[in-house]
């Protein structure tokens, strides 16, 4: 069985509805004796702990592979209006993901680069230091040869331009492909 959600956000919408429903239901309980019976017991307080609780926060640098800029690329400026982020997520950190993306060059040109590396998160961060005229779509794509899931999101200046996802259940058709080709204004 193959499920594909293309640019419509249908899967995201379904997930959002499921999460909201789960949160809403978590706060609801039916008192003993039926739905109309009043509750007569106070909730039990948990005993104080002698050891402070510290959340386990994963190190994001272990899971995120940031693609480095090369000499001649526009320098990444987080304060710039034209910050471009292309993020690909996959199921694991062993499956190779082939990524194709344009690079903005300081001389005003764009070049297409291709590279392959494992996930689970691959991020391409750039600043568009060209003249700002977008005459053709920016081609951002990712593929993986094995099943599971793959998704991508392209943002420009903090706004989502396009996103895509692909999912394969089982080994019926193990190839995955996502396409986040687009540019601001399209």
Q: CA separation (Å) from 38 to 27, 45, 111?
A: 16, 20, 69
Instruction: Return d(Cα 176, Cα 91) in angstroms, integer.
Output: 11
Query: What CATH code is carried by the domain that includes residue 170?
Result: 2.60.60
Torsion sign (Cα): 111, 123, 126, 167: positive
Q: Hey, which bits of 31-168 come out as E strands?
A: 64-66, 83-90, 96-104, 110-118, 121-127, 141-144, 148-156, 159-168
Average pLDDT over residues 140-167: 91
Residue 10 lies in a domain: no
The distance in angstroms from the start CA to the end CA of the chain is: 32
Please tell me the predicted confidence (pLDDT) of residue 95: 86
CB 104 within 8 A of CB 128: yes
Q: Give pLDDT tens digits for 64-87.
A: 888 888 899 988 887 877 789 999
pLDDT in tens, 107-141: 888 889 999 999 899 999 998 887 766 677 889 99
Residue 142 covered by a domain = yes
The answer as to whether 146 is a domain residue is yes
**58: in domain:** no
CA distance 171 to 88: 22
Instruction: Name the nearest CA neighbour of 122 among 154, 147, 162.
Output: 154
Look at residue 171 in the predicted model and tell me its pLDDT: 62
140 occurs within a structural domain: yes
Domain of 155, in residue numbers: 63-179
- Higher per-residue confidence, 36 vs 120: 120
Asked whether residue 99 is domain-assigned, the answer is: yes
In a domain, 184, yes or no: no
Domain-located, residue 105: yes
Could you give the number of structural domains in the chain? 1
Judged against a pLDDT cut of 60, whether residue 5 lies above it is answered with no
Give the pLDDT of residue 31.
40
């Amino acid at each position: 069985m193959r499920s594909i959600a293309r640019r419509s956000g249908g899967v995201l919408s379904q997930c959002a509805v499921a999460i909201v429903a789960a949160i809403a239901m978590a706060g609801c309980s039916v008192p003993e004796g039926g739905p109309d019976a009043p509750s007569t017991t106070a909730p039990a307080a948990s005993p104080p702990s002698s050891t402070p609780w510290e959340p386990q926060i994963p190190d994001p640098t272990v899971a995120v592979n940031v693609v480095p800029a090369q000499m001649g690329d526009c320098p990444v400026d987080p304060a710039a209006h034209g910050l471009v982020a292309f993020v690909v997520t996959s199921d694991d950190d062993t499956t190779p993901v082939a990524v194709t993306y344009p690079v903005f060059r300081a001389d005003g040109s764009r070049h297409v680069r291709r590279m392959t590396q494992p996930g689970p998160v691959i991020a391409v961060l750039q600043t568009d230091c060209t003249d700002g005229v977008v005459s053709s779509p920016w081609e951002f794509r990712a593929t993986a040869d094995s099943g599971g899931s793959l998704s991508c999101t392209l943002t420009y200046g903090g706004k989502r331009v396009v996103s895509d996802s692909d999912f394969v259940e089982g080994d019926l058709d193990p190839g995955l492909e996502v396409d986040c080709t687009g540019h601001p204004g399209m």
